[in-house]
Amino acid sequence: MPKWLRKSFVVMVTILTFGMVTPSQALLYDNSSADKNPKKDIVEPTNEDNHSSGSLASSFEEIGYINKEAFIKKMLIEAEIQSFAKFGEKIKPVIENEFSEVILPNIEMAIQNVAEQYPKEELAYLTVTERPGGGWSEKIFHIKNEMTNEDIIRFHVRRDQPPQQGYWFNFHYHTYHDQFQSHHELGKIYWAKNTPPKWMS
């Protein structure tokens, strides 16, 4: 419909009904839209659209700050879950109590040291890797920085067999400070004389 005819119709309806009936809102909307410059009809992205882009910054705004105590508690829960998953059904019943009493408190201290190195606005970016290593792998879990996608601390367990002493599980961690070269011991748990089963078995 031409613009002049649309305007004439609006005026005619208004005069004939003495203002009692107003023209359709859709008609008025079309009329106002027709007056716009088509170049201005491009939709600008809103803040909401920016959030859906999946960027770490937008995710951070949704997560918000996390204080050090909450971070340590969250990491410790993940540490226990990942550790017990690694032990599997054969090793877990034998060592879980000693692990909880001896090793887990030392893991907590190591995580606390990590928390002290980061301001609270960056703690939300530190996450635990999702799966421990099975078989003969030493990996229990790693904590990585999602902003850089790099590990900052790696928690491992090694099987030791000192002469005539049977098998021991050596729990330790490595940090990015020396490219994960040094072993920082968390504690040892005795297994038995016989060879331990594979992890996650």
Q: Does the pLDDT value for residue 10 go beyond 70?
A: no
**Residue 44 lies inside a defined structural domain of this protein:** yes
Tens digit of each residue's pLDDT (9 = 90 or more) over 34-73: 444 444 333 333 333 333 333 343 344 344 568 899 999 9
Quick one: 85 and 48 in the same domain?
no
Q: Number of structural domains, the chain?
A: 2
Quick one: 58 and 70 in the same domain?
no
Q: Does the pLDDT value for residue 26 go beyond 90?
A: no
Confidence of residue 16 (pLDDT cuts 50, 70, 90): low
What is the end-to-end Cα distance of the chain in Å, rounded?
A: 75
Q: Phi-psi bin for 65: left (phi > 0), alpha (psi -120 to 50), beta?
A: beta
3-state secondary structure 16-35: HCCCCCCCCHHHHHHHHHHC
In what helix (H) or strand (E) does residue 122 lie, and over which residues does it extend? helix 120-123
What residues make up the domain containing 85? 66-190
Quick one: 72 and 26 in the same domain?
no
**Residue 196 lies inside a defined structural domain of this protein:** no
Quick one: 176 and 97 in the same domain?
yes
Of 38, 62, 86, which residue sits at a domain end? 62
Residue matched to tokens 């049977």: 166
Quick one: 53 and 84 in the same domain?
no
Quick one: 57 and 77 in the same domain?
no
Q: What is the pLDDT of residue 57?
A: 36
**Residue 33 lies inside a defined structural domain of this protein:** yes
Quick one: 17 and 113 in the same domain?
no
**Residue 201 lies inside a defined structural domain of this protein:** no
Q: Does the pLDDT value for residue 24 go beyond 70?
A: no
Average pLDDT, the chain: 79
